[in-house]
């Protein structure tokens, strides 16, 4: 991966952590909180591909991983938050590439595509709480394995909101050209053949 792409992942990951700080901390109720940190991973997946989406998702999940892990009830399983966000970034990158022709022509289709891209992460969240928590955290509070349901319920709201944001941003030519210009090498550096 080129330096520009690493820098893009770091910047978007930092934005994801900032969005987490702005949304998670004020809305926290028993390990369930609004979290819009996935938006940069979605954008990175669309414009940078699955690898960049996954890396951005992992970085964007650092603050939520700490917040729900060591500072919350998940302890060492907090890292699963970053892994879930990476899964979403990878899936979004793969889907946006596969559906590029339709998405470029109809940006409103990003709303259902973002929802579809969330399904693997939703399965991951379910497995973390139903399988990993009882297996690796046997002394965890009794309510913890059942948190998958309220988490996925609030996540469906978040995904809907982020789908609309994504459709709006993808339809904005200025935003799109700015992102693509950052990810592409400057014309002066491209070798002439």
Cα–Cα dist 74/192, whole Å: 53
pLDDT at residue 128 in the model: 97
Q: In the predicted model, is pLDDT for residue 27 greater than 70?
A: no
pTM metric for this prediction: 0.90
Q: What's the pLDDT tens digit per position in 37-85?
A: 999 999 999 999 999 999 999 999 999 999 889 988 899 999 999 999 9
Cα–Cα dist 95/92, whole Å: 5
Q: In the predicted model, is pLDDT for residue 23 greater than 80?
A: yes
pLDDT at residue 159 in the model: 96
Task: Give the mean pLDDT of 165-184.
Answer: 93
- Helix (H) and strand (E) counts in the chain: 10, 0
Q: Which domains does the chain have, with CATH numbers?
A: 3-189 (1.10.1760.20)
Q: How confident is the model at residue 29 (pLDDT cuts 50, 70, 90)?
A: low
pLDDT at residue 102 in the model: 93
């Amino acid at each position: 991966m080129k330096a520009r792409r690493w820098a893009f992942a770091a910047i978007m990951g930092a934005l994801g952590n900032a969005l987490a700080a702005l949304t998670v901390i004020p809305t926290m109720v028993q390990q369930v909180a609004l979290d819009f940190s996935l938006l940069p991973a979605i954008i990175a997946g669309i414009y940078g591909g699955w690898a960049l989406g996954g890396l951005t998702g992992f970085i964007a999940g650092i603050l939520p991983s700490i917040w729900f892990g060591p500072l919350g009830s998940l302890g060492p399983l907090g890292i699963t938050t970053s892994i879930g966000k990476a899964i979403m970034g990878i899936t979004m990158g793969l889907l946006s590439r596969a559906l590029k022709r339709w998405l470029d022509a109809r940006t409103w289709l990003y709303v259902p595509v973002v929802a579809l891209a969330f399904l693997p992460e939703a399965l991951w969240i379910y497995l973390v709480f139903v399988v990993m928590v009882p297996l690796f955290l046997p002394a965890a509070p009794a309510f913890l394995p059942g948190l998958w349901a309220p988490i996925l319920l609030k996540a469906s709201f978040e995904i809907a909101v982020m789908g609309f944001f994504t459709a709006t941003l993808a339809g904005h030519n200025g935003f799109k050209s700015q992102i693509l210009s950052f990810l592409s090498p400057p014309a002066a550096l491209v070798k002439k053949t």
